[in-house]
Amino acid sequence: MISYDLISRRYGRLEGPELLEPLIREVFPGRIALVSSFGTDSAVLLHMVSEIDRKTPVVFLDTGKLFGETKRYRDDLVERLRLERLETVTPLAADERTLDAQGDLWMSNPDMCCHFRKVEPLERALRGYQAWITGRKRVHGGSRAALQTLETADWRLKINPLAGWSEEQISEYFDAHDLPRHPLVARGYTSVGCMPCTSLPSPDGGARSGRWSGQDKTECGIHWSVNGRPMKRSA
Interatomic CA distance for residues 39 and 184, integer angstroms: 9
Centre a 10 Å sphere on the Cβ of residue 97 and count the other Cβ atoms it contains.
9
| DSSP annotation string for the chain | ---HHHHHHHHTT--HHHHHHHIIIIISTTSEEEE----TTHHHHHHHHHHH-TTS-EEEE--S-B-HHHHHHHHHHHHHHT-S-EEEE---HHHHHHH-TTS-HHHH-HHHHHIIIIIHHHHHHTTT-SEEE----GGG-GGGTT--SEEEETTEEEE-TTTT--HHHHHHHHHHTTPPPPGGGGGT-SS--BGGGB-PPPTTS-TTTTBTTTSS----SSSSSBTTB---TT-
Verify whether residue 194 is a known catalytic residue: no
| Active-site position among 113, 114, 194, 220 | 220
- Nearest Cα to 88, choosing from 67, 64, 59, 115? 59
Point out the residues that are catalytic. 220
